[in-house]
Amino acid sequence: MITIRLKIHESDDFTDVEIIINCPEIDERLSRLIQQMNQMMFSIQGKKDGTTYPLVSDQLFYIESVNDTTFLYTDQDVFESDKKLYEFEEQLKHTRFMRISKNFIVNTAKIESVKALINGRFEAFLSNGEKVIVNRHYVKAFRKHFLG
């Protein structure tokens, strides 16, 4: 097992934050850490009541497309976006987000537990109390991404 050491150098001389990873190989733990960092490094624009808000992707539980409208769900609010689901899927690749059905992308970091269903699908329980269904078409990728 690879030992991970964290070194932080804080100085007024720096204008940006730079993260450098030196490693012999990227194992599963390091891969998940990189996904989490990627996820936290950008925001998504969401609209609510005519006002546009920047949403840190880590705040999102899931993204859903309904009748050509895309909705962004946080713990407390629902926002709309002009982007299509496939655009979010592209933007969020290499993060903890993944598509689980034709109309749904979930933040796997917000999943507390998973239950296999008889029909080959999965039921995922989110930390906000909601549950989502992983469609059979996406189960293989979901297993690899979430279950390891």
- Ordered structural domains, the chain, with CATH: 28-147 (2.40.50.1020)
Residue, of 143 and 104, whose pLDDT is higher: 104
Q: How far apart are CA 38 and CA 75, in angstroms?
A: 21
Q: How far apart are CA 133 and CA 118, in angstroms?
A: 12
Residue 115's closest CA among 138, 135, 133, 140?
Answer: 133
Specify whether the CB–CB gap between 91 and 81 falls below 8 A: no
Residue, of 99 and 28, whose pLDDT is higher: 99
Q: How far apart are CA 129 and CA 131, in angstroms?
A: 7
Q: Which residues contact 34 (CB under 8 A, 6 or more apart)?
A: 21, 26, 94
pLDDT digits (tens, 9 = 90+) for 12-28: 998 888 888 888 888 88
Q: Is the pTM of this model over 0.85?
A: no
